[in-house]
Structure 1
Amino acid sequence: MKQRSSSRTPQALRDIRSLSVLAIHPQDQDGEELLGQLCRIGCKVQMTWPALDTLPDATDVVFLAVRPETLSVSLPWMNAKGAPPVIPVVSYENPIIIEAVMQLGAYCVVPSPVRSFGLLTAIAVTLNQHRNRLQMERYVRRVEDKLAEQRQIQRAKTILMETRNLSEQEAYDLLRSQAMVKREHIETVAEAIIKADEVLRF
């Protein structure tokens, strides 16, 4: 088990070295240290301050300085589909800052003053958790789509049962046979029946 885990580490590090990172941070001592450490890791880094309304293309990770003066700043890209994960760089620790970090959906933080220790771990943990969240979101969407399809089939069966005086099994068998004849998915046939019923009722 340990051997398998160690064999994954080089690839994980290579993945981190290929990242495109945006550092939204003032060009102060902390900012210079952050930039230097990210460059030493091998990341492609772009630094900006203040925050941008839109992100550069293919941004994989965002480091964001969270400070009292930035709490009211709007980040439109945060809610965009496919937005990259954010790693906050935190100079203060109080309830307001903690709440801001939580609203960013951060998996971990980098404390100020920035040091080399912990930076690589923060990136690795963030990427892993972000991938897990995306996988979970895809799974939830598939489940929701499947449930929607099942509801559609059930509705089509009900229409056939009412209009043709069929049992539930007979209605389903009719749906399935029509799907085979037309070489369509059963959900497609069900949708057609529902639309036809809506037109006739109208």
Structure 2
Amino acid sequence: MNDDDQAGHGRPAQPLPISHLLSDLRSLRVCVFHPHDGDGAQLTQQLERIGCSVQAFWPPLQSPPHSTDVVFFALLPDKLNAIDDWSADDDSPPTIAVLNYENPTVMEAMLRIDAKAVVTSPIRSFGLLSALVLAREIGRERKKLCKRIARLEEKIGSARKVSEAQDILCGQRRVSKDEAYKIMRDQAMAKRMTVEDIASAIINASDILSSGGGRGSR
């Protein structure tokens, strides 16, 4: 049983073992949006010492290179307007904010990029590994939660559709909701379709007939 299955039964997913997380860091593809100064060079060198594959850019690109695993973003006043909507995408790589001072504008930018961790300037080796582990784990959990929410929304939508189709059959055939569901289930098995597909067909047919009836009565 995988983590999603466990979570679906009400049990929280367990974090990855720290040995796995640390091993994973050595294969990361990291994008660094930081000026090419001493701090930028120090950040790149420290990440390469960990074993990461690093690409550094300044000014920031409109979006990170394809297949980027983690982004470091220096939140400098003159580049805060360069933050694009890619960071709000559920599939975007986790971002780590690089701060050299704090004020409300920088804090707002940190929230805009949905930073999963923070490192401060001047860059030091201490704290960098922790920020990477934290960002990766939070990013991993966020993606799992988004997928889980999408599946739940799909299930809720399907349940509503089936219920609407049951109501249509109850009115047309004067049967109970249980009998209406059995009719849909039997049709689904006979046609090798899902109950949701049969429900959609019933709803569409009802809409067409209702529209036709409305035009004919005028």
Verify same fold: TM over 0.5: yes
Kindly indicate whether the alpha-carbon contact (under 8 Å) linking 2:62 and 2:82 is maintained by their aligned counterparts in 1: no
Match of 1:154 in 2: 163
Kindly indicate whether the alpha-carbon contact (under 8 Å) linking 1:52 and 1:75 is maintained by their aligned counterparts in 2: no
Shift of 1:81: 5.0
**Which amino acid in 2 is paired with 1:99?**
E
**1:65-84 to 2 correspondence within 5 Å?**
65-80=74-89, 82-84=91-93
Match of 1:124 in 2: 133
TM-score normalized with structure 2 length? 0.86
Q: Where does structure 2 lack aligned partners over 5 or more consecutive residues?
A: 1-13, 212-218
CA distance in 2, matches of 1:106, 1:54: 15
**Which amino acid in 1 is paired with 2:120?**
P
CA distance in 1, matches of 2:196, 2:60: 46
Match of 1:136 in 2: 145
Q: Residues 170-199 of structure 1: CA distance to partner in whole angstroms, max 9, x if unpaired?
A: 211111111122222111111111111112
Q: Where does structure 1 lack aligned partners over 5 or more consecutive residues?
A: none
Match of 1:23 in 2: 32
Kindly indicate whether the alpha-carbon contact (under 8 Å) linking 2:83 and 2:113 is maintained by their aligned counterparts in 1: no
Aligned-pair identity (%): 42
Kindly indicate whether the alpha-carbon contact (under 8 Å) linking 1:51 and 1:75 is maintained by their aligned counterparts in 2: no
Kindly indicate whether the alpha-carbon contact (under 8 Å) linking 2:88 and 2:113 is maintained by their aligned counterparts in 1: no
CA distance in 1, matches of 2:135, 2:64: 18
CA distance in 2, matches of 1:184, 1:72: 50
Kindly indicate whether the alpha-carbon contact (under 8 Å) linking 1:152 and 1:190 is maintained by their aligned counterparts in 2: yes
Q: Residues 74-126 of structure 1: CA distance to partner in whole angstroms, max 9, x if unpaired?
A: 42432345211110100011222112112211122000000000001100000
Kindly indicate whether the alpha-carbon contact (under 8 Å) linking 1:109 and 1:122 is maintained by their aligned counterparts in 2: yes
**Which amino acid in 1 is paired with 2:70?**
V
RMSD of equivalent CA atoms: 1.6
TM-score normalized with structure 1 length? 0.92
* Partner secondary structure for residue 115 of structure 2: coil
Residue 179 (structure 1) aligned with residue 182 (structure 2): no
Kindly indicate whether the alpha-carbon contact (under 8 Å) linking 1:159 and 1:197 is maintained by their aligned counterparts in 2: yes
Match of 1:88 in 2: 97
Count of aligned residue pairs for this structure pair = 197
* Partner secondary structure for residue 64 of structure 1: strand
**Which amino acid in 2 is paired with 1:44?**
S
| 4+ long deviations beyond 6 Å | none
CA distance in 2, matches of 1:38, 1:56: 17
Match of 2:67 in 1: 58
Equivalent of residue 57 in structure 2, options 27, 31, 48 = 48
